[in-house]
């Protein structure tokens, strides 16, 4: 890309905002960021989490995850090369479906981005606290090992503040230093896998009921709750640094394939096979073949450390413990940067105050960074355990992946002539396939993580009604505030009454409401709010609401099937496999076509198209050919 094309400002605040960001991230730096996001706490803990849910068949879960994300990633390659923007995943829906969907999507993704540095800190302290109990970083609560209060959580606060300091020096420091950390993060997992292979027991692959002792459905269930979705999460996050990437039209697609898929797949397959083969059941305090007992075993706090120690490589413990601190910490550092760019992008969208766009002399959105750090502290309390947190965070990440298909399909209709360095053949097929794959990954997470996450995500509705809609003049202030306040009160009462929120044992609390009452009230509260806000909005406000209603309806449908299906809490599911999968695919296909129909031209897209026309033909050619 030529410097001339890059320096030309676009007309309008939406496009001009990225002109203040510095393009400092090279192809290798971008691949390293992707790898760093994925080879963090996932490689340390996901092998045990996946094995406890699916047994030896967890190996297939990693392959299945790569297939799902490969299908999803195709869509994002065209979008990332076409419109490289910082915080891209948050900004794209605004271009095609308007503010309501943009806010809903951005809020869900922000939850993930704020909680991910915390989950990486949890992994660091879980490994260190498990190896040195005297530090007092961990405690057992209701049979679950969690961070202790005050010692463990306060140390977590300190680590999060260190991430803040490192991010404040800009994307160049983040990218350049992360290159060397990533090399370390690649070498140590590979060496760990090799060491585990020396204690390889082929009997572990059939013990306890065969290769799939927990059933074929467990292969799918382990995708989210076993940390596989979480481990592949760097694929789409590459796009969040788009406004700071050198030659993004070339580098983003390459980084998605190499850093987002190939490298993580190879590493995790080696680790999973090595870990299963190296399990010493006596050392873990379990009967041979007790796969489900792994999460509550003595190996849970440091599975790979225990595996290599049981294999006779005690000397390697110090190296692995060093990496247990470095790998998740580096990933948490990167994720705090991603969260910062998410807040920045929501500000560009007009969904948060403009102050969050303030850039320091290092090119970092410093107010957004400070806000993410402070808000991140809150996430230490609801689920102070990596194993409890990972499923919910995985869904929050995948929720943003859902948007790729609809955005791609709508942009093909509303911006057909915009330069596309990567232009897919059969775009509707890939857009639809990516959408279905994303929605299925969300469904596989199961009822408990879903209801916990979406209880928080649906708070986007009153925030939109009370702030964005009123600020933009799309709805009358007083009734908007009343509807938003009533929703908030009713939602909190229903969430508490349901008895599913933030339970450490993943079971409903005694006295919780029955599903018909609980889910019926959820649907009623959402429907009344949506109808009320629509009624008090003007034509522009109603257009924005129509642009995102499909997502709200889709989430409610997924929740309904999740409760009744095999991944729900019922001992005898109403929707047995494969009936539940057929219903979910039908919902996904119907929802996809609704989403494409709901999209259309927006003011923000018009700004981008106008900015592109301002560039000279030579610049445009260089942009598309990069």
State residue 549's pLDDT score.
Answer: 96
100-109, 151-160, 222-231, 438-447: segment of lowest average pLDDT: 222-231
State residue 171's pLDDT score.
Answer: 62
Confidence of residue 170 (pLDDT cuts 50, 70, 90): low
**Cα–Cα nearest to 495, from 512, 473, 479:** 512
In three-state secondary structure terms, 86 is strand
The better pLDDT of the pair 400, 615 is held by 400
pLDDT averaged over every residue in the chain: 84
The tens digit of pLDDT for each residue in 131-154 reads: 788 888 877 776 667 777 888 888
Q: Are 343 and 351 in contact (CB under 8 A)?
A: no
State residue 507's pLDDT score.
Answer: 83
Confidence of residue 6 (pLDDT cuts 50, 70, 90): very low
Asked whether residue 379 carries a pLDDT value surpassing 90, the answer given is: no
Asked whether residue 24 carries a pLDDT value surpassing 80, the answer given is: no
Backbone φ and ψ of 619, nearest 5°: -65, -40
The better pLDDT of the pair 440, 81 is held by 440
Distance of CA 53 to CAs 68, 123, 130, 292, 568, Å?
19, 19, 22, 6, 15
State residue 519's pLDDT score.
Answer: 97
Structural tokens at position 230: 């979480």
Distance CA 204, CA 519 (A): 42
In this prediction, residues 521-534 reach a mean pLDDT of 97
The tens digit of pLDDT for each residue in 309-366 reads: 888 898 888 888 887 777 777 778 778 887 888 888 788 777 788 888 888 887 788 8
Confidence of residue 172 (pLDDT cuts 50, 70, 90): low
In this prediction, residues 379-408 reach a mean pLDDT of 76
Confidence of residue 517 (pLDDT cuts 50, 70, 90): very high
Asked whether residue 624 carries a pLDDT value surpassing 70, the answer given is: no
State residue 173's pLDDT score.
Answer: 66
In this prediction, residues 33-58 reach a mean pLDDT of 82
In three-state secondary structure terms, 241 is strand
Distance CA 169, CA 132 (A): 33
State residue 384's pLDDT score.
Answer: 55
State residue 15's pLDDT score.
Answer: 52
The tens digit of pLDDT for each residue in 60-112 reads: 999 998 898 889 888 988 888 888 776 677 788 999 999 999 888 888 888 88
Confidence of residue 475 (pLDDT cuts 50, 70, 90): very high
Structural tokens at position 451: 């209801």
In three-state secondary structure terms, 90 is helix
The tens digit of pLDDT for each residue in 115-126 reads: 888 888 887 888
Distance CA 327, CA 129 (A): 16
> 300-309 burial, b if ≥16 CB within 10 A, otherwise e?
bbbbbbbbbb
The tens digit of pLDDT for each residue in 291-325 reads: 989 988 888 878 888 899 888 898 888 888 887 77
Q: Are 264 and 235 in contact (CB under 8 A)?
A: no
In this prediction, residues 590-608 reach a mean pLDDT of 92
State residue 9's pLDDT score.
Answer: 33
State residue 546's pLDDT score.
Answer: 96
State residue 625's pLDDT score.
Answer: 36
State residue 363's pLDDT score.
Answer: 75
Q: What is the pTM of this model?
A: 0.80
Confidence of residue 619 (pLDDT cuts 50, 70, 90): very low
Q: Are 406 and 95 in contact (CB under 8 A)?
A: no
248-252, 475-479, 545-549: segment of lowest average pLDDT: 248-252
Structural tokens at position 305: 């450390």
**How many percent of the chain have pLDDT more than 70?**
88
State residue 10's pLDDT score.
Answer: 35
Asked whether residue 621 carries a pLDDT value surpassing 70, the answer given is: no
> 157-170 burial, b if ≥16 CB within 10 A, otherwise e?
eebbeebbebbbeb
**How many percent of the chain have pLDDT more than 90?**
35
Environment class of residue 594 by beta-carbon count within 10 Å: exposed (0-12), middle (13-18) or buried (19+)? middle
State residue 177's pLDDT score.
Answer: 66
Highest mean pLDDT among 17-31, 415-429, 448-462, 482-496: 482-496
Which residues, 6+ apart, have CB-to-CB distance to 258 below 8 Å?
31, 34
Environment class of residue 233 by beta-carbon count within 10 Å: exposed (0-12), middle (13-18) or buried (19+)? buried
* Separation of CA 257 from chain center: 18
Highest mean pLDDT among 15-29, 426-440, 442-456: 426-440
Structural tokens at position 353: 């105050």
In this prediction, residues 377-394 reach a mean pLDDT of 68
State residue 428's pLDDT score.
Answer: 95
């Amino acid at each position: 890309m030529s410097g001339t094309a890059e320096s030309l400002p676009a007309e309008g605040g939406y496009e001009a905002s990225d002109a203040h960001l510095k393009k400092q991230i090279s192809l290798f730096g971008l691949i390293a960021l992707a790898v760093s996001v994925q080879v963090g706490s996932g490689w340390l803990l996901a092998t045990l989490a996946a094995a406890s849910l699916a047994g030896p068949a967890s190996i297939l879960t990693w392959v299945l995850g790569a297939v799902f994300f490969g299908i999803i990633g195709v869509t994002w390659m065209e979008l990332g090369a076409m419109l490289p923007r910082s915080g891209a995943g948050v900004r794209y829906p605004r271009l095609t479906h308007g503010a309501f969907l943009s806010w809903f999507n951005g809020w869900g993704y922000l939850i993930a981005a704020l909680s991910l540095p915390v989950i990486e800190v949890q992994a660091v302290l879980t490994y260190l606290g498990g190896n040195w109990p005297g530090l007092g970083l961990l405690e057992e609560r209701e049979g679950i090992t969690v961070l202790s209060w005050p010692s463990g959580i306060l140390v977590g606060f300190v680590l999060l503040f260190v991430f803040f300091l490192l991010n404040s020096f800009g994307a160049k420091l983040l990218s350049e230093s992360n290159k060397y950390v990533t090399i370390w993060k690649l070498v140590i997992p590979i060496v760990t896998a090799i060491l585990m292979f020396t204690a390889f027991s082929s009997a572990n692959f059939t013990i306890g009921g065969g290769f799939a002792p927990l059933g074929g459905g467990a292969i799918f269930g382990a995708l989210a709750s076993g940390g596989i979705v979480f481990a592949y999460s760097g694929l789409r996050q590459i796009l969040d640094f788009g406004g700071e990437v050198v030659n993004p039209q070339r580098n983003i697609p390459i980084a998605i394939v190499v850093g987002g898929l190939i490298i993580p797949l190879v590493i995790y397959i080696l680790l999973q096979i090595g870990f299963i083969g190296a399990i010493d059941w006596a050392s873990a305090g379990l009967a041979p073949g007790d796969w489900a007992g792994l999460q509550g075993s003595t190996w849970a706090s440091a599975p790979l450390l225990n595996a290599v120690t049981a294999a006779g490589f005690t000397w390697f413990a110090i190296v692995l413990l060093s990496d247990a601190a470095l790998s998740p910490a580096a990933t948490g550092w990167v994720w705090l940067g991603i969260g910062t760019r998410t807040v920045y992008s929501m500000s560009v969208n007009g969904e948060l105050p403009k102050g969050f766009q303030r850039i320091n002399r290092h090119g970092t959105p410093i107010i957004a960074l400070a806000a993410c750090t402070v808000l991140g502290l809150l996430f230490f309390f609801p689920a102070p355990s990596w194993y409890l947190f990972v499923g919910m965070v995985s869904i929050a990440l995948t929720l943003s992946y859902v948007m790729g298909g609809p955005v791609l399909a709508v942009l093909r209709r509303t911006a057909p002539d915009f330069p596309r360095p990567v232009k897919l053949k059969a775009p509707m097929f890939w857009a639809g396939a990516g959408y279905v794959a994303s929605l299925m990954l969300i469904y596989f997470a199961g009822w408990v993580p879903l209801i916990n996450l979406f209880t928080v995500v649906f708070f986007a509705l009153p925030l939109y009604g009370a702030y964005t809609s009123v600020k933009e003049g799309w709805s009358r202030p007083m009734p908007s505030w009343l509807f938003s306040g009533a929703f908030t009160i009713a939602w909190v009462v229903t969430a508490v009454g349901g008895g599913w929120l933030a339970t450490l044992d993943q079971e409903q609390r005694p006295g919780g409401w029955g599903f018909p009452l609980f889910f019926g009230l959820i649907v009623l509260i959402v429907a009344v709010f949506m109808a009320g806000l629509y009624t008090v909005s003007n034509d522009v406000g109603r257009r924005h609401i129509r642009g995102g209603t499909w997502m709200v309806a889709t989430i409610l449908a997924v929740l309904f099937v999740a409760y009744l299906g095999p991944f729900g809490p019922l001992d005898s599911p109403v929707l047995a496999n494969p009936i539940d999968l057929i219903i979910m695919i039908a919902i996904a296909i119907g929802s996809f076509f609704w989403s494409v129909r709901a999209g259309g031209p927006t003011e923000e897209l018009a700004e981008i198209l106008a900015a592109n026309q301002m560039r000279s033909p030579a610049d445009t050619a260089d942009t598309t050919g990069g």
